[in-house]
Amino acid sequence: MEDIKYRFAICGKCKKKWNISRFQHIPKGGYICPHCLYKRKQTRKICKYIMLFIAGILLYSISADVAYIQRGYKSIGGEALILLLPLGWYLAEAMIKGNLKRMRK
């Protein structure tokens, strides 16, 4: 009968003990559990969309000033569509990821 050996690793972030595959490679930086990896990915995603939102606001304010100089009066025109930058980015990213998944199958 084969002797089953378990391998345990302690997460470098939350310090919990995790039962992992005995064949799993542990990087030099230490093991990071799936829970902490998910939190890190979520944090990066939130930061990315916050940065896109701020970029949209800055681009809108710049383009509104340029439009005011060109028109000679204040009004809201096509430059307001820049505020939809995060939504457009999300839709494009989802479409590309979906197409890549279909191509891999």
Distance of alpha carbon 17 from its chain centroid, rounded? 27
* 10 bridge partner residues: 17
3-class state of residue 73 by DSSP: coil
Residue pLDDT, tens place only, 11-67: 888 999 888 887 888 888 888 888 888 888 899 989 998 998 899 899 999 999 998
Dig out the tokens for 55 from the structure.
Answer: 């970029």
Residue pLDDT, tens place only, 54-65: 998 999 999 999
The residue extents of the domains of the chain are 1-32, 35-104
Q: Is the pTM of this model over 0.75?
A: no
Which residues, in sequence order, are CB contacts of 99 under 8 Å at separation 6+?
Answer: none
CA dist., res. 104 & res. 100, Å (int): 6
CA distances (Å), origin 105, targets 33, 44, 96, 98: 28, 28, 15, 11
Give the pLDDT mean for 1-18.
Answer: 80
